[in-house]
Structure 1
Amino acid sequence: MSKRCYYEVLGVSKDASADELRRAYKKEALKHHPDRNQGNPRAEALFKEVNEAYQVLSDEQKRRIYDQFGFAGLEGGGPASPGDMGDVFSHMQDLFTEMFSGGGPFGFGGNRQPRRGGDLRVQQRLTLREAAFGCKREVVVHAPSRCDDCGGSGGAAGSKPETCSGCRGTGQVSTARGFVMFTAPCARCQGRGQVIRNVCKTCKGEGMVAKPRKVTVNFPAGIDSGQRLRVQGQGMPGPGNVPAGDLYVEIDVEDDPRFERDGTDLVTRVNVGFVEAALGADVMVPSIGPETDSADDTGPASAKSTLTVTIPAGTQSGAVFTLKGQGIPRLDGRGRGCLIVVVQVQVPTALTARARELLELLDEELRVGADADAEGVSRRRVAASK
């Protein structure tokens, strides 16, 4: 079979960069690898062709010679010469170690010991006041914890782990297949590098037991639903002496019937009588403060959790009053948001005969006043036009 152009073999252009060559080589080498195409001699031939092409094009000097003189320029010192076999193995070992070490495109498991234990996630509900002004809570975590009897070693008292004879303490075993060296966790010791002869009866050699534990968490002022806190070292314990992972606490703030939260602003609605809205009045509105005003924090507003707002005469339903600095504290500590008061004017629905009579008189009086105002405006316009 006549040789194909090396660029054609890898499926790249002649001005391909080193990264493009590397990616193309990975793709083609995995595609035609003998382990994935057992009993297919053509795939084996293509696999060798791919390796030959990459060895030449990945070497700047050889690539320049090939670009200028073609295959003839490589005769006598070509990629298949005995002196270059070490380079071929080095290229393939580096690439396939990268591809099969956990971060590769095919998602094969890694062969390294974990640097720390896994992370845990729990959810914690807070009242609006707790979220607004911060609090300290004990969060119960139900997860495996380090065994107290063996200290997490998995061995019985007085026993010591022994070096695994299968991997000689490395936690890995390597197997050569052709030019490629494959590395995997040792099946004998599960990648730990050590074996335990006399296991702990409490944890049965696992080094961990399932039990609830309490973690004290400080919730900062201004935190909101959907946010989460990270508590370092309170996650899953790692095998042996590996540090524990982290605990992530996801926040869920309870609804408060008095308020609607919008970031650092609070919206509250206050009902005002018809007469109060017409004549103006001082009305009490609920507010939020760091002091608890009732046992469940949702009861009737007391003097500690109310503010006085003066509404002017003629206030209409839907009118909005903004009280600065009475909302939720900001997470960065730079002040507080606003308390937004929305007025809802209550119109009486059940009227006595006397109340109806008075309202009718009021309506008549208001009409007279409106007509007088309209006449005055008309006179002023006529006077202005003269």
Structure 2
Amino acid sequence: MSVDIDFYELLEVERTADEATLKSAYRKLAMKYHPDKNPGCKDSEARFKAINEAYDCLKDPQKRAAYDRFGKDAFRNGAAGGGGGGFGGGDFADIGDIFETIFGQGFGGGQGRQRGPARGADLRYDMEISLDDAFHGKSVDIAVEVAVACGPCGGTGAKPGTHAKRCGTCSGHGKVRAQQGFFMVERTCPACHGAGEVIADPCDACHGQGRVDKKKTLTVTIPKGVDEGTRIRLSGEGEAGARGAPAGDLYIFLHVKRHSVFSREGTTLFAEVPISFTTAALGGTVKVPGLDRVEHEFRIPAGIQSGKQLRMRGAGMPVLNGRGMGDLVIELAVETPTRLTAKQRELLEAFRETETGEECPQSRGFFDKLKDMWDDLTD
């Protein structure tokens, strides 16, 4: 049989066949042409090998994409151990370049691109603030110790007056390649560690690293309306990159301390406010100072119960990076007096003597239910 027969024809499937169809076709043909079922038949043995070769290629999405585009030429150069130009004109150095052309540079990386020194690491700083700070915003200075670019060498890592030289191992590419069977494998250069350059005469101050540890003071601006876990990014204030590479970023993570009066959900502030039982019975007003330094007056309707919530629009937290304010919500807790004067006790006794049960319908309803339940049990 011809060695150039199309893989899809060998497996007797369409070029659009999915993975399941390919697998089913392969199993059927492999069983049909297996040498054990056709002892001594050279044609069956050759077709069996060809079927295996075709399925091995088409079951791999990357190999299949290369085959669909370039046919068997996509594999001849790599399979030959790296010799020859392939494609008749040396358009691709190896199978890695073929995949890179198909899938883009993100697949394996071309040897022509220099990796260069790595960007500096990002750093984290945890800051605790009060709820009042979160409401009004503030600026605060922080001290951080971080790797910065070395002054004497300007971050290059080379002694002043000298410079880094191109790495002879990788020719400045930062990566080296080695043939491993069918594939060409690419690794970080062991001599320059991917930088593409080596420093023969390192800087005395930073010992060739291009950076030194230093404590510096930064001003952090906390905007109004921040919440627990809000993250503030200071671009370029992280760790300096090696040998002049860009610095990373510094991230400030905010933690809001518990307030003695207010709690918070988003832009809504909550507070539990105690009121006297006479205010609850007769109605009245209560004034609540907010974080905005304003006394907010709430009207208490007569007969209000514990747990009832009242809302004041626009008296809550500011909207972060926006306009407007949230709400202030108070939850009322009716307080029973524990210290009564003789006069107050006398007045309360007189009130109790006039009670009919209609004054507190919830209490009366509860005991009526208990009475009905008891009557049912005793009938």
Matched, 1:6 2:25: no
- The offset of 1:326, in angstroms, is 0.6
- The offset of 1:232, in angstroms, is 1.7
The residue type equivalent to 2:331 in the other structure is V
The residue type equivalent to 2:272 in the other structure is R
Matched, 1:339 2:340: no
Q: Structure 1 unaligned segments of length 5 or more: list them.
A: 22-44, 63-73, 290-303, 372-386
The question of whether the paired residues in 2 share the 8 Å contact of 1:199 and 1:205 is answered with yes
The residue type equivalent to 1:263 in the other structure is G
C-alpha distance in 1, partners of 2:351/2:276?
Answer: 16
C-alpha distance in 1, partners of 2:8/2:195?
Answer: 44
Cross-structure match for 1:382: none
- The offset of 1:330, in angstroms, is 0.9
Q: Once structures 1 and 2 are overlaid, which stretch shifts more, 122-131 or 211-220?
A: 211-220
Paired residues, number: 316
Cross-structure match for 2:164: 161
The question of whether the paired residues in 1 share the 8 Å contact of 2:74 and 2:98 is answered with no
Matched, 1:271 2:271: no
Q: State the Cα RMSD in Å.
A: 4.5
Cross-structure match for 1:210: 213
Query: TM-score if structure 2 supplies the norm length?
Result: 0.67
- The offset of 1:115, in angstroms, is 6.6
User: Are residues 348 and 7 of structure 1, via their aligned partners in 2, closer, same or farther at CA, if it must alter by over 3 Å?
Assistant: farther
The question of whether the paired residues in 2 share the 8 Å contact of 1:258 and 1:286 is answered with no
Matched, 1:252 2:216: no
C-alpha distance in 1, partners of 2:160/2:193?
Answer: 22
- The offset of 1:279, in angstroms, is 3.0
Matched, 1:131 2:134: yes
- The offset of 1:346, in angstroms, is 0.5
Cross-structure match for 1:191: 194
Matched, 1:326 2:323: no
The question of whether the paired residues in 2 share the 8 Å contact of 1:156 and 1:199 is answered with yes
The question of whether the paired residues in 2 share the 8 Å contact of 1:117 and 1:235 is answered with yes
User: Are residues 350 and 96 of structure 1, via their aligned partners in 2, closer, same or farther at CA, if it must alter by over 3 Å?
Assistant: same
Instruction: Tell me the secondary structure at the aligned position of residue 254 of structure 2.
Output: strand
The question of whether the paired residues in 2 share the 8 Å contact of 1:221 and 1:329 is answered with yes
Cross-structure match for 1:58: 68
The residue type equivalent to 2:176 in the other structure is V
Matched, 1:308 2:297: yes
C-alpha distance in 1, partners of 2:359/2:157?
Answer: 91
Aligned pairs for 1:100-249 (under 5 A) are 112-113=115-116, 116-177=119-180, 180-249=183-252
Instruction: Tell me the secondary structure at the aligned position of residue 334 of structure 2.
Output: strand
The question of whether the paired residues in 2 share the 8 Å contact of 1:134 and 1:221 is answered with yes
C-alpha distance in 1, partners of 2:147/2:209?
Answer: 10
C-alpha distance in 1, partners of 2:86/2:234?
Answer: 52
- The offset of 1:205, in angstroms, is 1.4
Query: TM-score if structure 1 supplies the norm length?
Result: 0.66
C-alpha distance in 2, partners of 1:215/1:102?
Answer: 39
C-alpha distance in 2, partners of 1:47/1:350?
Answer: 96
- Percent identical: 35
The question of whether the paired residues in 1 share the 8 Å contact of 2:228 and 2:255 is answered with yes
C-alpha distance in 1, partners of 2:167/2:94?
Answer: 30
The residue type equivalent to 1:163 in the other structure is R
1:306-330: CA deviations, max 9, x gaps? 3333323333222222111110111
Q: Once structures 1 and 2 are overlaid, which stretch shifts more, 257-266 or 170-179?
A: 170-179
1:82-120: CA deviations, max 9, x gaps? 999438966722356699x99669xxxx98236733322
User: Are residues 151 and 263 of structure 1, via their aligned partners in 2, closer, same or farther at CA, if it must alter by over 3 Å?
Assistant: same
User: Are residues 9 and 193 of structure 1, via their aligned partners in 2, closer, same or farther at CA, if it must alter by over 3 Å?
Assistant: farther
